[in-house]
Copies of this chain bind each other. A is one copy, B any other.
């Protein structure tokens, strides 16, 4: 049961591709392509059209080769996505290189990843089942180094890294989904409320959703509070409290 977007099937082969531990072939014709060119082309397509707009045929067309030629370099689409993810993880500033306290480093990490996910929105729609490549590992390592100054036990450092990363991804996805909904329906939030507001009002004015109604009347939905920053500060506050407790 349950495969959804699925990850790669043949893990051994994928690991070799990710970590570049496969030796070059000796015999046979000179390859006209290489894995990197395929991955680069695929990333360009995904940046423009999303993961759903990425197909093997489109990648091949962009590179001017037959579709099936790609399979000489990459076992299947899932493995290609694994490579795309790791490649893109090679971008950007590593948080542990930023000056300042663990908190400053972590804030930098969060904001960096936030804009990073907005630059490659498709990453948020990829399955979480892809194996770790070297660049992803490098980012993870950097995150752990950023949190080392907390002085927390190692297992709590790992837990905090997981929690912060999950938070960033989740909020970025929320933001991206929101933007894409406006873009794909061509309906702005204002237009939407103008159209469906009256029907919802019927429900809101009843006692079915009292808290939503109260919060709505208080104007909280149009508040310019930045949820991402707000929640980030709450999490960092919580970690600081933990440090004090243990210290």
Binding site for B on A (CB under 8 A): 1-7, 9, 11-12, 15, 19, 21, 48-53, 96, 121-122, 125, 127-129, 134, 137-138, 140-142, 144-145, 148, 153-160, 162-163, 166-167, 169-171, 173-174, 177-178, 180-181, 183-185, 187, 192, 195-196, 199-200, 203, 208-212, 214-215, 218-221, 223, 225, 227, 230-231, 233-239, 241-242
Q: How far is the CA of A133 from the CA of B185 in the complex (A)?
A: 17
Q: Are B227 and A185 in contact (CB-based, < 8 A)?
A: no
Q: Are A7 and B141 in contact (CB-based, < 8 A)?
A: no
Q: Are B234 and A160 in contact (CB-based, < 8 A)?
A: yes
- A155 CB contacts on chain B under 8 angstroms: 218-220, 223, 225
Q: Are B138 and A184 in contact (CB-based, < 8 A)?
A: no
Q: Are A2 and B49 in contact (CB-based, < 8 A)?
A: yes
Q: Are A11 and B170 in contact (CB-based, < 8 A)?
A: no
- A2 CB contacts on chain B under 8 angstroms: 48-50, 53, 121-122, 180, 183-184
CB contact under 8 A between A184 and B223, given known A154-B218, A215-B154, A236-B238: no
| Majority-rule SS of A interface residues | helix
List 8 A–B pairs whose Cβ atoms lie within 8 Å, in order of A's numbering: A6-B52, A129-B177, A129-B180, A158-B220, A158-B225, A159-B227, A159-B230, A166-B167
Query: Which chain B residue lies CB-closest to A221?
Result: B158
Q: Are B235 and A141 in contact (CB-based, < 8 A)?
A: no
Q: Are B7 and A184 in contact (CB-based, < 8 A)?
A: yes
Q: Are A138 and B230 in contact (CB-based, < 8 A)?
A: no
Most central of A148, A184, A236 by chain B CB within 10 Å: A184
Q: How far is the CA of A121 from the CA of B242 in the complex (A)?
A: 32
Closest chain-B Cβ to A147's Cβ sits at a distance in Å of: 9
Query: Which chain B residue lies CB-closest to A173?
Result: B128
- A49 CB contacts on chain B under 8 angstroms: 1-3
Other A-B pairs, 12, CB within 8 Å; known A5-B125, A155-B225:
A4-B53, A7-B184, A11-B185, A21-B199, A154-B223, A155-B223, A157-B215, A158-B227, A166-B171, A234-B242, A238-B238, A241-B241
Q: Are A162 and B227 in contact (CB-based, < 8 A)?
A: yes
Q: Are A12 and B227 in contact (CB-based, < 8 A)?
A: no
CB contact under 8 A between A19 and B180, given known A11-B187, A48-B1, A50-B3: no
